Amino acid sequence: MRPVLVLTHVPHEGPGLIAAGVDGPVRVRTVLDDPDPRLPALGEVSGVVVMGGPMDADDVRHPGLVAERRLLAAAVDADVPVLGVCLGMQILALALGARLHLRHGSEVGFAPVDVVADDPVLGALGIRPTVLHWHSDAVDLPSGATLLASTPTTPVQAFRAGSALGLQFHPEVTRSMLDLWLATPDMTSALDPDEVEAIRADGATHLPTLVPAAEKAFAAFGELVRARG
């Protein structure tokens, strides 16, 4: 099987449960600050995954983001399976012509999302799953895309655009990843100690249910990847 390309932006936001769902070769790259990154051709990969990060999706100080947008637009045109998570969803939305809204509303911690449409991947999480949020920016729904999930603060929490799925939240996170995030100053600098401990406690409550559901969701994404690969 051709590898799945995973684009990361910071070391602590890796693919997590997504890699296990792919159940095949994964090539992890970080091209954030490369002005002319050499990304693989779409014929060399069976899918593209774009992970989160603290930067703005349109931040011109990180020239690699432009190359990521070009790749995602081409992948959707070529019907290559795409998964964008948090910042990755915002980059995907920009690639599809949607608007980015900076500092639209902060959501950090475990809280439910309302799933409003069927999807072969997202559907495994249920109709109102409690998931991990960690963002303040938001996007409009790309033209022609289907809205899949929403919250009052962030109307576009998930969407489907052809072969591409965008998720504003973080179902890929395991307990060990959450512990790493809560020990990473870049992740917690805006939180007070009580908020950090509340997220830790909520993780102990919700991850035992969320992780098995997310494993099913990413296994469904893996099926789409293997069908191409």
Residues 6+ positions from 216 with CB-CB distance below 8 Å = 124
Is 13 marked active-site?
no
Q: In this structure, how many other beta carbons lie within 10 angstroms of the beta carbon of residue 75?
A: 23
Show the 3-state SS of 160-185.
EECCEEEECCCCCCCHHHHHHHHCCH
Is 133 marked active-site?
no
Is 215 marked active-site?
no
Q: Give CA–CA dist 137/129, Å, rounded.
A: 21
CA distances from 87 to 26, 43, 172, 176, 193 (A): 20, 25, 14, 21, 25
Q: What one-character DSSP code corresponds to residue 115?
A: E
Indicate the angle between helix axes 175-182 and 193-228, nearest 10 degrees: 130
Q: Give CA–CA dist 153/220, Å, rounded.
A: 28
Burial of 183 (0-12, 13-18, 19+ CB in 10 A): exposed
Sign of CA dihedral 57, 79, 128, 22: negative
Find the catalytic residue in 62, 68, 86, 135: 86
Q: Which active-site residues does the annotation give?
A: 86, 170, 172
